[in-house]
């Protein structure tokens, strides 16, 4: 019912920037909130950021506030994560997901796609 493709990851030095993209298909993208999650080696998957259906409300986990910005382009069915001032602890596989409108940390579907690897060196 949903297909998500993440892209834009790579290897970057601490302090650098990356812009991740997630393109959706299989349902009406603009009807849903979207979130970014990440999973580092040996760690549980954690919430990073989410944005509501219209793009006028967003929330972030404390560790990325002021550094990451989530946005979306409903015409392109794409959600973005602009990542600035990257730190080694940001190293993880980043996934996007369809999330709830009332609670944007709640994942509606367990289709995470392949994810995109972000590696930050010091």
* pLDDT single digits (tens) 41-93: 999 999 999 999 999 999 999 999 999 999 999 999 999 999 999 999 999 99
pLDDT at 2: 81
Task: Give yes or no for residue 1 having a pLDDT over 80.
Answer: no
pLDDT at 101: 83
> pLDDT grade, residue 27 (50/70/90)?
confident
Average pLDDT over residues 98-107: 91
11, 24, 12: which is closest to 51 by C-alpha?
24
Task: Give yes or no for residue 34 having a pLDDT over 80.
Answer: yes
Q: What's the mean pLDDT when you consider all of the chain?
A: 94
- CA dihedral (33, 34, 36, 39) positive or negative: positive
- The rounded Cα 26 to chain-centroid distance in angstroms is 19
Distance of alpha carbon 62 from alpha carbon 26, whole angstroms: 32
């Amino acid at each position: 019912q949903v297909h998500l493709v993440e892209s834009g990851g790579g290897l970057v030095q601490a302090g650098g920037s990356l812009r991740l993209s997630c393109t959706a298909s299989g349902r009406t993208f603009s009807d849903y909130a979207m979130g970014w999650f990440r999973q580092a080696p040996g760690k549980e998957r954690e919430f990073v950021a989410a944005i509501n259906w219209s793009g006028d409300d967003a929330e972030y986990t404390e560790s990325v506030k002021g550094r990451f910005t989530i946005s979306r382009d409903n015409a392109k069915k794409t959600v973005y994560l602009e990542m600035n001032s990257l730190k080694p602890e940001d190293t993880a596989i980043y996934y996007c997901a369809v999330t709830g409108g009332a609670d944007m940390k709640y994942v509606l579907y367990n289709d995470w796609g392949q994810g995109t690897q972000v590696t930050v060196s010091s």
